[in-house]
Structure 1
Amino acid sequence: MRLGQIAVVLGGSAAGLCSAGALAPYFDHVVVLERDELPAGAEHRRGVPQSKHPHFLLNSGRRAIGALFPGFEADLVAAGGLHLMPSMDAAYLDGVGWSARKRSAMTMVYSSRILIERVLRDKVRELPNVTIREGVAVTGLTTRDGAITGVDTDDGRLDADFVVDALGRGSSVGAWLAAAGWPEPETRTLDAKVTYTSRWYDLPAPRPESWWWRHLVIMPTPDKGAHPEEHDYLVNFFPVEGDRVIACMGSWGLPMPRTTDAFVETARRVRTPLFAAAMDRCEPTSEVHLTRSTGNKWRRYDRLRTPPARLAFVGDSICAFNPFYAQGISSAAGSALLLREHLADATRLDGKSAAKFLAAQRKLLNVPWRLAMARDQGYECAEGTEKPPEWRRRILAAISAPAFSLIVGAAREDEAVDEHFAKVFNLDESLGEMLRNPRVLGGLVRYRVRAALGRHRVPFGFDAQAEPPATDYSTATAR
């Protein structure tokens, strides 16, 4: 059923493109307004500076985008995306050493952010009633009787029956609503002072024989004693299309290298020499890119007594996450799919309809938000409305890393824990749901007892100074 003539999407990034796919069945015409001139291929642009860093597309995001744009994943892989199983294709350094290589329940598609958006643009352009207008800056909203009626741009006014704010972290929609008489929404924040820095490389041809892995992951050290600050970094050697990788180092509250020389030298001081050695075998193709705009921020439009009718928020414009947790694109796609389902059931686009969607979206966003809080609230450097009392912060700091290692360890040996941990990681299940599952709790206790007795099924803690073992331990898990 058609709900109106024109719907307008503010922003042509991943959130906006997914929103266009959600709106297309219900409006005669959908217009996407994008400030940048969009590249024809997979290229960086000014409006998406974070595209220069690694991006995971979680399973929940893959499914949501696939529902909005059938064939998306196949097109992404055909364009160069890599369909991998991290437990088999990634060398993972956690705790005291390398984890064992084995099959698991989780697969992922690896690609650059710029390729994800290029494939999304291609899918959107296949929709006959969607138009992308480039080089257009949105300057305000028009309203009447509690509803949004259009948008103002530097190219004139555009009437609209529905508007989606997909302008990202820096969206001005909240300020425009305040100017029109709506109260400022409550905003929940927590900035754990995450900074990360990346550089792109071409892989050597051929790859060294010892590189059974495609992806390197180096987690912060569990060592509480004196150690180089680089051992507290989260490090990725992240594969993308075109035989390229993104070398990325990040930290909570620590200074990060800004120059190429400093980047290379810093890489030599992380927990394993493999990261710097791998970089040395590759050819750099970019400068160093640094990002510090990484705080968690949730604008609680759902708590407005009378939310504006005919307006929805998707992506970072409503809820932005610490990028370390790879939740952004998948959460935005999930919101867009939820919007499509909401429109399918809607008969009127009034304030009650807006409130209903915001309430459903709150439940969706609460899953990744709680995951982000579970980690970031433990950092002393964190600031914001969600910063816990010091006594609680100390408890979180003391238990979060060991609890995560316990779950990861149990997942190595227990299929049920592995399955549910994969669901949590991919935003298909909340952490609370997983930890209330009797089978998961039993698996965690069993693993802890076996570990205390030294009866591990799958070995772990391989020497971080040596090459990660290539042996497939999947049969050990099966036993």
Structure 2
Amino acid sequence: MRLGKTAVVLGGSAAGLCSAGALAPYFDQVVVLERDELPAGAEHRRGVPQSKHPHFLLNSGRRAIGALFDGFEDDLIAAGGLHLMPSMDAAYLDGEGWSARKRSAMTMVYSSRILIERVLRDKVRELANVVIREGAAVTGLTTRDGRITGVDTDGGHFEADLVVDAMGRGSSVSAWLVAAGWPEPEVRTLDAKVTYTSRWYELPAPRPATWWWRHLVIMPTPDKGEHPAEHEYLVNFFPVEGNRVIACMGSWGLEMPRTTDAFVETARRVRTPMFAAAMDRCEPTSEVHLTRSTGNKWRRYDRLRTPPEGLVFVGDAICAFNPFYAQGISSAAGSALLLREHLDRARGLDARFSAKFLAAQRKLLAVPWSLAMARDQGYECAEGTEKPREWKRRILAAVSAPAFSLIVGAAREDDVVDEHFAKVFNLDESLGDMLRNPRVLAGLVRYRFLAALGRHRVPFDFDAQAEPPATDYSTATAR
């Protein structure tokens, strides 16, 4: 069923490409307008500075993109993406020491952002009615009688039956709408002052015999006493395609290294020597890349009394998250799939369509938003409309880390808790729904009771100064 002649997508990154796949069955032509000249291969470009840092493709995102583009995951893996089980393939330092290695319910696909977008571009270019216009800077929107009717660019004008804003955090669309007479949308914000810095490395060949792991994760210390600032870092030694890794250090409210020398020296002060030792075995292939634009920001277009007809928003253009939580691409893909579902049921692109889509999208975005708030609201350095009162912030700061450790610990030993924790992490279930599940609550209480007695099926807190243990403890959870 065709709903119009032309749909226009503003932005050619992951959110825009997913949107093009959602629109293609319902319009004669879909035009993707991208400011950059797009590379033929998996290469960095100016418009996606985040591509230089690690990106997780969560299960919800994998499924959404797979529904939009048949065979996407197979193509991503064929291009070098890695299908791994983090609990078996990642060395995870949480609490006082390394966690045990064991099988779990969660698998993930690891790759660089640039490879994800390259495979997406290939998929979009297979669609006969989609065209990508490169080097096209969008300069404004045209409107008539409460409806968006077209898009102006520095190279001309495009009439449109539907426009998708996928221009990211810096989108100018809200300002253009205000200039056209719409009220400014409410904006919810919380910036926890996250800064992170990354450097790319080539892995040694062959890999060292002790490297059973593919991914190193070092969580911030639970120690409340005196310790080096670097012990507060969240650290990743993140595998990507092409026998490469991204070494990444990030923090809430702390200064991060900007030069290669400072990066290497800082790595030696994180709370395990394994991170710096792994970097020493690898060959650096890039400079240091630092990012500060990490605040959570939700433009509440759903609360406008009369939202503009003929316009929808996908990805960071409507809701941007702290990138630490790896929710961006998966949330954008989920919104694009939701758009396709609403287009499939639509009888027209009128005010009713806009209101129904925005209401459904609000429910979709509330899940990752609540997860980001649960962590970031506890930081004293956080600023924004969602900053809680001090008494509430203190409570959140006091309980969030222990609560997370409780869930992680219970998931080690209880398959049901593990299954639901994997769903929450992958945006398939809200944290609230998980914690209202009687079986999950029983598992948490049981684990806490047995832990108080020192009775654990699966050991943990292995010496952080030593190599992470390679022993597979999967059978311990089967008893």
Same fold (TM over 0.5): yes
Q: Secondary structure at the match of 2:54?
A: coil
Q: 1:328 corresponds to which letter in structure 2?
A: G
Residue of structure 1 equivalent to 2:82: 82
1:362-373 equivalences under 5 Å are: 362-373=362-373
Residue of structure 2 equivalent to 1:38: 38
1:319 Cα deviation after fit: 0.0
1:352 Cα deviation after fit: 1.6
Residue of structure 2 equivalent to 1:145: 145
Instruction: List runs of 5+ in structure 1 lacking aligned partners.
Output: none
Residue of structure 2 equivalent to 1:265: 265
Q: Secondary structure at the match of 2:279?
A: helix
1:350 Cα deviation after fit: 1.0
CA distance in 1, matches of 2:197, 2:421: 28
Q: Secondary structure at the match of 2:36?
A: coil
CA distance in 2, matches of 1:198, 1:116: 18
Q: Secondary structure at the match of 1:36?
A: coil
1:126-275 equivalences under 5 Å are: 126-275=126-275
Residue of structure 2 equivalent to 1:433: 433
Residue of structure 2 equivalent to 1:2: 2
1:40-119 equivalences under 5 Å are: 40-119=40-119
Q: Secondary structure at the match of 1:366?
A: helix
Q: 2:231 corresponds to which letter in structure 1?
A: H
- Per-residue deviation, residues 288-331 of structure 1 (Å, max 9, x unmatched): 00000000000000000000001000000000000000000000
CA distance in 2, matches of 1:348, 1:129: 20
Residue of structure 2 equivalent to 1:409: 409
- Per-residue deviation, residues 185-226 of structure 1 (Å, max 9, x unmatched): 000000000000000000000000000000000000000000
Q: Secondary structure at the match of 1:290?
A: strand
Q: Secondary structure at the match of 1:373?
A: helix
1:351 Cα deviation after fit: 1.3
CA distance in 2, matches of 1:307, 1:125: 32
Residue of structure 2 equivalent to 1:350: 350
Structure 1 stretches of at least 4 aligned residues deviating more than 3 Å after TM superposition: none
CA distance in 1, matches of 2:412, 2:439: 15
RMSD, aligned CA: 0.3
CA distance in 1, matches of 2:314, 2:432: 25
Instruction: List runs of 5+ in structure 2 lacking aligned partners.
Output: none
Residue of structure 1 equivalent to 2:291: 291
1:176 Cα deviation after fit: 0.3
* TM-score, normalising length: structure 2: 1.00
Residue of structure 1 equivalent to 2:473: 473
1:44 Cα deviation after fit: 0.1
Q: Secondary structure at the match of 1:428?
A: coil
Give percent identity, aligned residues only. 89
1:422 Cα deviation after fit: 0.1
Q: Secondary structure at the match of 1:266?
A: helix
Q: Secondary structure at the match of 1:381?
A: coil
1:280 aligns with 2:312: no
Q: Secondary structure at the match of 1:184?
A: coil
* TM-score, normalising length: structure 1: 1.00
Q: Secondary structure at the match of 2:460?
A: coil
Q: Report the number of matched residues.
A: 479
CA distance in 2, matches of 1:154, 1:355: 31
